[in-house]
Amino acid sequence: MSAVIVTARLSKWYGNVLGLSDVSLEIEPGITGLLGPNGAGKSTLLKLLTGQLRPSIGSVTIFGQRVKNNPALFFRVGFCPEHDSFYEEITGWEFLLGLLKLHGFSAAEARAKAEKTLHIVDLYQDKDRLIRAYSRGMRQRLKVAQAIAHDPEVIILDEPLSGMDPLGKRKLIRLIKDFKREGRTVIVSSHILPEIEALTTTIILIHQGKVFAQGDVQDIRELIESHPHLISIRCAEPRRLASLFMNDENVLKLMFGSDGRSLVVETRNRDKFFSLLLSLIVEHRIGVEEITSADDNLQAVFDYLVGK
């Protein structure tokens, strides 16, 4: 399969601040997840791909055409921005219809496409409400709607799942997977690994402006799994619970919280630890109030992987 999006030695500086460094990618049809902590350079890369920024060094092409100052390319590309920003004093319908007309569609075509897209993102019922009255999830769906309404072959979505409720996320994930089946090229950015995992197996890990790893999500998952996890358990009997973990090979370290009601466990295998924890809770009837994974965020994993 030939690459639709190609970047060659792409770099971007904001003055003296590095935004992106030496990124060479070939993105093929299907879903590609762009994963990285906040400030990693994901949005910079997506803005370079959509011509909103000019590369300091390197080049970007989509369908073999340069991106910057090539507006005709946007007949084939749709972009969903990260910011939760709209023309607040119009309705969702007016917003979508207006943007579709900017694509050159006639009024009738634009109406048909807007109607179809609002049905797809489940906003048709609320189409006549002012955007400023929309919930966060509805606004996210409207942003996605404007990116897909003109049937683009390439869809670039910057943090599309952010702020959505679980049901909304599930629907959007299903929709994005449909795009893949239709042979489109989709890039989705997120800082949350499970969101990306739910969408695709092809991911690009980006950190501090550099592509840190690229490939199958399973390989990345294995890297991440080798990173010790901290899990905090809040319960009435932390000492008793700690004694039950003492001889388990998956437990590296046990610490007690200063409040005397919590136990922090360091483990190398999170999945095995959680099955052990559940069986111990049931078997020994231990009342657990809360379980949190203290470093279950990408930044901690990246810090670990880059050896901080």
Give me the residues that bind another protein (CB under 8 A), please: 14, 50-54, 69, 71-75, 77-79, 81, 83, 85-87, 89-90, 94, 98-99, 101-104, 146
Q: For the CB of residue 4, give the shortest distance to another protein in the complex, in Å.
A: 17
Tokens 């090229």 sit on residue: 185
Instruction: Give SS3 for 107.
Output: helix
Strands 17-27 and 5-14 come out as antiparallel
> For another protein, which is the closer residue by CB, 56 or 250?
56
- Answer yes or no: are the C-beta atoms of 30 and 178 closer than 8 Å: no
Q: Given strand 229-235, what is the order of strands in its sheet?
A: 251-256, 262-267, 229-235, 288-293
CB atoms within 10 A of CB 64: 9
> For another protein, which is the closer residue by CB, 17 or 282?
17
> For another protein, which is the closer residue by CB, 1 or 72?
72
> For another protein, which is the closer residue by CB, 15 or 194?
15
> For another protein, which is the closer residue by CB, 96 or 244?
96
Q: For the CB of residue 20, give the shortest distance to another protein in the complex, in Å.
A: 13
Q: For the CB of residue 148, give the shortest distance to another protein in the complex, in Å.
A: 12
Instruction: Give SS3 for 50.
Output: coil
Complete DSSP assignment for 136-158:
HHHHHHHHHHHHHTT--SEEEEE
Q: For the CB of residue 26, give the shortest distance to another protein in the complex, in Å.
A: 22
Query: Could you give the C-alpha distances from 194 to 9, 24, 113, 197, in angstroms and in order?
Result: 29, 25, 32, 5
- Nearest partner of 294 among 231, 227, 238, 252, judged by Cα: 231
Query: Could you give the C-alpha distances from 34 to 77, 78, 96, in angstroms and in order?
Result: 17, 16, 26
Q: For the CB of residue 202, give the shortest distance to another protein in the complex, in Å.
A: 23
> For another protein, which is the closer residue by CB, 35 or 67?
67
118 beta partners: none
Q: For the CB of residue 16, give the shortest distance to another protein in the complex, in Å.
A: 15
> For another protein, which is the closer residue by CB, 29 or 51?
51
Q: For the CB of residue 229, give the shortest distance to another protein in the complex, in Å.
A: 32
